[in-house]
Amino acid sequence: MPSPIRVIYTGGTLGMEPGPQGLAPGRDFEARLRRALDTLPPARRASLPDFTFEATPQPIDSSAATPSDWQTLGQRLGQAYDEAAGLVVLHGTDTLAWAASSLAYQLQGAAKPVVVSGAMQPLEAPGSDALGNVEGALRFAAQPALQEVAIAFAGKLLRGVRSRKWHTRDADAFVSPNYPLLGELVEGEPVLYPNRGLDELQRGAPRFELPDYQALGDCPVVRIVLWPGIPASLVAAWLEAPRVKGALLEVWGGGNVPENPALLEVLAEASGRGQLLVAISQCPAGAIAIGSYAAGQGLAAAGVLSGDDMTPEAVITKLVHLLAQPLDETQRRERFRDALVGER
């Protein structure tokens, strides 16, 4: 008999119930979920894979999640990996793409499906998307050809480390701006599109990397979105904070920044201190090419790395992941340039 899917429930809107002060985490979600699945048409219910269920000891408030939460979740998935045919993580949607990105780096080399999902509405709400998303996640998690961390949402399967939450209310809330869908549910059946998933070479080393994110302390990486007229002194204040070890810079267009000598000096000084600086475009789609325009030459001179077409979530979780490991500056820069899990 094949091993069952392991479902790990971390909290989120899909498990909430109405209370005196609004939606609040509900009790006994496993029983509620199994009752809901039993309402599916008999043929669909019969074809669902078997699953075991566990809940994290404390629900994760998705909007308050931290790298420590990602580390704990990665460790739990690592412990369950050998005994399950596939893994499903049910998570709040606010930082679901962040969690999926972090898990992709932690679970490098995964040769089984790891599917992250959630819902925009509680399970029992009229017209809720929760049951459909869980059903889709279970079906995709039973596909042995899927060998990476993915997000199943609104009938679509997206590479986790390429995904972003794009809508505050719509059920079709997630997009993959710079990579095509890995698959879709077609008439209720999971279909994986050919030549889009990670192959054995792309998955990297056949082992997990589960470093101690907590050892980095609070705020090891900052996110700085440039705006017209941003003062160099403000960027310096962020980068000179003692705990900051890396930064994401969101620049304009194809990789442009103001021709401001003071700003570029701040960036060069940060690189000289060993901080890992990465730039991506503020445009949601497309890549940057540092130095293609004269206005971007200063980034290259300051030692800023190109994030190409990565998402902000993928960059920051990758920086945290690399900074938590015993690597020297050169190794970190080289590994950042490498595509570890199809993130660039």
Q: Which residues are catalytic?
A: 13
DSSP state of 315: H
Which residues is 225 bridged to in the sheet? 250
Nearest to 343 by CA among 325, 317, 320: 317
The CB-based long-range contact list for 27-30 (8 Å cut-off, 24+ gap) reads 29/55, 29/123, 30/55
CA distance 29 to 6: 15
CA distance 30 to 36: 10
End-to-end CA distance of the chain: 38
Which residues is 184 bridged to in the sheet? 156, 191
Nearest to 177 by CA among 198, 151, 158, 152: 158
CA distance 179 to 188: 23
* Alpha-helical segments (H) within 222-311: 232-239, 261-272, 297-301
CA distance 321 to 163: 18
**Burial class for 194, CB neighbours closer than 10 Å (0-12, 13-18, 19+):** exposed
CA distance 323 to 332: 7
CA distance 3 to 141: 12
